[in-house]
Structure 1
Amino acid sequence: MSKRHSAKYKLDRAMGENLWGRSKSPVNKRSYGPGQHGQRRKSKVSDFGLQLKAKQKLKGYYGNITEKQFSAIYAEATRRKGNSSENLIGLLESRLDAIVYRAKFVPTVWAARQFVSHGHVTVDGKKVDIGSYRVKPGQVIEVKEKSRSMALVLEAQQSSERDIPDYLEIGDRGFSVRYVRVPELADVPFPVKMEPNLVVEYYSS
């Protein structure tokens, strides 16, 4: 098993949930935590523990975001007008690598950043190779012509594990999408319950 797959499945086990809704997740077979003590009766979790888990789950879901990057995104979410937890989700979903994953250009969030960094994607016709690039509503993200026959692209498009959300408008035979609007929490097709309000509490406490 590759290091990337190992890390992904380790997070699933640690959270006790199938974060990405994938059929191969070990949680589908064993819902208890990892290690020799994983099957012990769970003790009551403190408020801080719940907040920490919510933060780890949301941060981990996006695959390659460091703690420094994630806390910076939170800081911007709180600076913006409106609900901080909704702002946090909107900022995360506006990342280019997140949109590449949502558009089903690649099969996993882990592959999305690598796909972007290797120069397979354009935004409004210009190559962008930074996964954290913030896409604005109305911009069009497209897989380069020469990259469309790649095995992982074809695998992702043929997968029935997830659907493309309605804040992305599909075009050009599924190889391009237009970012229609910044989504709210209720719009995002998370396979598990995400609690950005607890993440805000974690950082503000």
Structure 2
Amino acid sequence: MSKRIAAKHKIDRRMGENIWGRPKSPVNRREYGPGQHGQRRKGKLSDFGVQLRAKQKLKGYYGSIGEKQFHKVYVEASRLKGDTGANLIGLLERRLDAVVYRAKFVPTIFAARQFVSHGHVKVNGKRVNIASYLVKVGDVVEVKEASRQMLLVLEAQQLAERDVPDYIELDANKLAARFARVPELNEVPYPVQMEPNLVVEYYSR
């Protein structure tokens, strides 16, 4: 599990966007970056800067995945047939922590990573505690019966700010979700625009 030192809210402010669509995001009040000189950082970015920003935003959205692990996902995406950017999004959405988050078993992607690593999740009836585990089409992800009354889980189900996407078939009563298909970029419910093509350009330099 990657260790993140920066506060989650600072990612929003550094990017100038509400990456997770949270009502309490500081960007809703202050669009400039954090720190003493935050209001003066509005200079035009170079092509490299734009690509770097796109990579940081995508990494941040999925719980600030470590650079080594994120590059590994890119390499795998580049080996697959088809568009590398689309493959990259498909692999990220297949991560177990991402599926747990999409199914609204927990309120945030950061909570999803911790929830998985603490052993609260099963895949096809077997406990899996690796957040980066890649779910296959048809796999069923469920919350362990002993964990279904956790306050975190109960609170997540009441969240109105996001819906479960169509590529995940949810059984809300059993807290089980079937990964129906690998989504296209336009199917993924990002609160802000993600640009995987720029991430591909960044790594292709």
User: Could you say whether these structures have the same fold, taking a TM-score greater than 0.5 normalized by the shorter chain as the test?
Assistant: yes
TM-aligned CA deviation for residue 65 of structure 1:
1.4
Deviation at 1:172, TM superposition (A): 4.7
SS in 2 for 1:173: coil
Counterparts of 1:153 and 1:25 in 2: how far apart (Å)?
21
How far the C-alpha of 1:40 sits from its partner, in A, is: 2.2
Q: What secondary structure sits across from 1:58 in the alignment?
A: helix
Unmatched segments (≥5 aa) in structure 2:
none
Distance 1:189 1:182 in 2: 13
Q: Which amino acid aligns with 2:176?
A: S
User: Cα–Cα, structure 1 residues 41 and 68, in superposed 2: closer, same or farther, change >3 Å?
Assistant: closer
2:189 maps to which residue? 189
Q: Which moved more, 1:184-193 or 1:57-66?
A: 57-66
Runs of 4+ in 1 over 3 A off after TM superposition: 3-6
The whole-number CA distance in structure 2 between the counterparts of 1:5 and 1:157 is 28
TM-score after normalising by structure 2: 0.95
SS in 2 for 1:78: helix
Residue 183 of structure 1: CA displacement?
Answer: 0.6
Change (3 A) 1:5 1:187: farther
Q: 1:8 to 1:41 in 2, by over 3 A?
A: closer
- Provide the rounded CA distance (Å) in 2 between the counterparts of 1:58 and 1:119: 26
Identity %: 70
Alpha carbons of structure 1 residues 172 and 25: separation in structure 2 relative to 1, 3 Å: closer
Moved more, 31-40 or 3-12: 3-12
SS at match of 2:142: strand
Over aligned residue pairs, what C-alpha RMSD do you find?
1.5
Residue 32 of structure 1 corresponds to: 32
**Bigger shift: residues 186-195 or 57-66:** 57-66
CA 1:73–1:27 in structure 2 vs 1: closer, same or farther (change >3 Å)? same
Q: Work out the CA distance in 1 between the residues paired with 2:178 and 2:45.
A: 42
Partner of 2:199 in structure 1?
199
Distance 1:102 1:154 in 2: 15
**Preserved contact between residue 74 and residue 88 of structure 1 (Cα < 8 Å):** yes
Paired residue for 1:124? 124
Distance 1:140 1:50 in 2: 37
Residues in 2 aligned to 1:108 and 1:181: alpha-carbon distance in whole angstroms: 22
Give unpaired runs (5+ residues) of structure 1. none
Judging changes above 3 Å, is the alpha-carbon distance between structure 1 residues 24 and 82 closer, same or farther for their aligned structure 2 residues? same
- Once residues 58 and 101 of structure 2 are traced to their aligned partners in structure 1, the CA distance between those partners, rounded to angstroms, is 15
Which whole-Å CA distance do the structure 2 matches of 1:128 and 1:32 have between them?
A: 40
The corresponding residue for 1:81 is 81
Kept in 1: contact 2:4–2:64 (CA 8 A): no
The alignment's TM-score, normalised by the length of structure 1, stands at 0.95
Report whether the alignment pairs 1:7 with 2:3.
no
The separation in 2 between residues aligned to 1:14 and 1:138, in whole angstroms, is 38
Q: Which residue of 2 aligns with 1:45?
A: 45
